[in-house]
Amino acid sequence: MTHSDAKLWAQEQFGQAQLKDPRRTQRLISLATSIANQPGVSVAKLPFSPADMEGAYRFIRNKNINAEDIAEAGFQSTVSRANEHKELLALEDTTTLSFPHRSIKEELGHTNQGDRTRALHVHSTLLFAPQSQTIVGLIEQQRWSRDITKRGQKHQHATRPYKEKESYKWEQASRRVVERLGDKMLDVISVCDREADLFEYLTYKRQHQQRFVVRSMQSRCLEEHAQKLYDYAQALPSVETKALTIPQKGGRKARNVKLDVKYGQVTLKAPANKKEHAGIPVYYVGCLEQGTSKDKLAWHLLTSEPINNVDDAMRIIGYYERRWLIEDFHKVWKSEGTDVESLRLQSKDNLERLSVIYAFVATRLLALRFMKEVDELTKESCEKVLGQKAWKLLWLKLESKTLPKEVPDMGWAYKNLAKLGGWKDTKRTGRASIKVLWEGWFKLQTILEGYELAMSLDH
């Protein structure tokens, strides 16, 4: 989904937007193109003429333009690409967009962390094709603000109807995705972290024959066994050993671990306060760290996918490992790429209109970084992403020698895009950031534009 030409990308994403006036759609494409060319740069600093700058701000402030309509155009673009793939993972996660500035504070909700910062809460669903290792795009996103007057009323949560709880977002996401994909939903596997371990959600997925991989949050009672789920898992034999590197995060050090892989088939028993529900038949896949450490890693995965052998179990673990992509999307959107949390707008509606555009630009940035980090993709021809003229110009700019007979691979392209963006290849600098990569990408597009203009002088 990574067009080297930002305008072509913006046309594909938003060209079918239904905004009640075709001029609004064209303005959206123009604004998205400029943001995609220079992600992380404020609208005020984009290279617009005075008239185009005024048009961009009119679009952002236009009360007749709904952020949902902008998003739906992007979702439908994802639908068209989804049909090209045999199997899809719907990677889901929730994040918070925090905005401490006063101009918009009264319109946003609380975060349970004091009064200083207010936020939008966002639940995103990103489609990923595992067979081709392709980020397909955003297929759903919900945004909401928590009512500041109800902060601290956790005691009322248990009595609130399920559909009025925040946790309904998981089922809501599935309902909206199936509305867009129709029968293609049969090829989609929802991949969710522990927060989705809700009896109502799992019941919905089973009743509607929808596929899922959900990490368990609690050791549930089982219908077939006196043991609870985690005790049952401990008693299962290990069928495989998996090596995994746990990355450094915050105060946690990076470490290499060995995990026992286990699998089985169980029926989750309905909780005491949900006796009206039937039990839920699921397959269980465990990935449990060996050793005696108190903080051992344990992935207890519940899935609709039949697990008949070790290969099936390893495939499910691989699907769950791809869930980090949705977390990375939120990082790229919030700070590392488009820097949406730095927006300073005067109303919540204006903020949502622009943040939705930023979200789709963030998927474009994520796709570029993901291809850099997957070994089999870095070995592919760079011409698939850069195009023939662009990679040749990049070569002539940085290699200072004649063009090679064979097209370089993507690994070469990423390294040189980073260099063009200002990255120094030393042990101290580490890996190039997404911002540096995209700065190099933008500079390359500028070089390409200059080349095209120079060539036009001969005609």
* pLDDT tens, residue by residue, 75-104: 999 999 999 999 999 999 999 998 876 666
Sign of the Cα pseudo-torsion (74, 174, 287, 317, in order): negative
357, 337 contact by CB (below 8 A):
no
Last residue of a domain, one of 333, 364, 399: 333
Helices (H) and strands (E) in the chain, counts: 16, 9
The backbone torsions φ and ψ at residue 423, rounded to the nearest 5 degrees and listed phi first, read -75, 140
Last residue of a domain, one of 268, 301, 333: 333
Six token digits for residue 367: 């796709």
- The residue among 447, 436, 454 whose CA lies nearest residue 397 is 447
* Cα–Cα dist 165/140, whole Å: 19
71 in any annotated domain: no
The pLDDT of residue 459 is 61
The pLDDT of residue 443 is 86
pLDDT at residue 114 greater than cutoff 70? no
49 in any annotated domain: yes
Six token digits for residue 71: 């998003």
* Cα–Cα dist 101/96, whole Å: 15
The pLDDT of residue 152 is 57
Count the Cβ atoms, other than its own, within 10 Å of residue 125. 25
79 in any annotated domain: no
pLDDT at residue 426 greater than cutoff 80? no
422 in any annotated domain: yes
Q: Judging by beta carbons within 10 Å of its beta carbon (0-12, 13-18, 19+), is residue 235 exposed, middle or buried?
A: exposed
* Cα–Cα dist 146/110, whole Å: 6
Please indicate, yes or no, whether residues 239 and 295 belong to a single structural domain of this protein: yes
- Concatenating the DSSP letter of every residue in 116-180 gives S-EEEEEEEEEEEETTTTEEEEEEEEEEE---GGGTT-GGGGGGS-GGGSGGGHHHHHHHHHHHH
204, 214 contact by CB (below 8 A):
no
437, 410 contact by CB (below 8 A):
no
Last residue of a domain, one of 333, 357, 391: 333
425-431 LR contacts (CB < 8 Å, sep 24+): none
Residue-number span of the structural domain to which 413 is assigned: 377-456
The pLDDT of residue 25 is 98
103 in any annotated domain: yes
Please indicate, yes or no, whether residues 364 and 408 belong to a single structural domain of this protein: no
Number of domains in the chain: 3
Inter-CA distances, 105 with 119, 333, 344, 347, Å: 8, 21, 11, 9
Q: Which residue has the higher pLDDT, 200 or 428?
A: 200
DSSP one-letter code for 100: -
pTM of the model: 0.89
* Cα–Cα dist 160/96, whole Å: 23
* Cα–Cα dist 120/122, whole Å: 6
Please indicate, yes or no, whether residues 161 and 297 belong to a single structural domain of this protein: yes
Please indicate, yes or no, whether residues 285 and 142 belong to a single structural domain of this protein: yes
CATH number at residue 43: 1.10.246.40
Question: In what helix (H) or strand (E) does residue 442 lie, and over which residues does it extend?
Answer: helix 434-456
73 in any annotated domain: no
Give 16-60 pLDDT, tens digit per residue: 999 999 999 999 999 999 999 888 888 999 989 999 999 999 999
323, 292 contact by CB (below 8 A):
no
The pLDDT of residue 335 is 82
Q: How far is CA 441 from the centre of its chain?
A: 21
Count the Cβ atoms, other than its own, within 10 Å of residue 130. 17
Please indicate, yes or no, whether residues 361 and 326 belong to a single structural domain of this protein: no
Please indicate, yes or no, whether residues 300 and 195 belong to a single structural domain of this protein: yes
Please indicate, yes or no, whether residues 178 and 286 belong to a single structural domain of this protein: yes
DSSP one-letter code for 252: B
263, 288 contact by CB (below 8 A):
no
83 in any annotated domain: no
Give 149-174 pLDDT, tens digit per residue: 666 555 555 678 888 899 999 999 99
Please indicate, yes or no, whether residues 191 and 110 belong to a single structural domain of this protein: yes
Count the Cβ atoms, other than its own, within 10 Å of residue 16. 14
Please indicate, yes or no, whether residues 40 and 104 belong to a single structural domain of this protein: no
159-167 LR contacts (CB < 8 Å, sep 24+): 162/200, 166/121, 167/195, 167/198, 167/201
- What residue type is 34 in one-letter code? S
Please indicate, yes or no, whether residues 358 and 393 belong to a single structural domain of this protein: no
CATH number at residue 408: 1.10.740.10
Please indicate, yes or no, whether residues 350 and 445 belong to a single structural domain of this protein: no
CATH number at residue 110: 3.90.350.10
Residues in CB range of 451: below 8 A, 6 or more apart: 389, 393
Q: Point out which residues pair with 138 in neighbouring strands.
A: 126
Please indicate, yes or no, whether residues 46 and 31 belong to a single structural domain of this protein: yes
Give 221-255 pLDDT, tens digit per residue: 999 888 899 999 999 999 999 988 877 666 677 78
14 in any annotated domain: yes
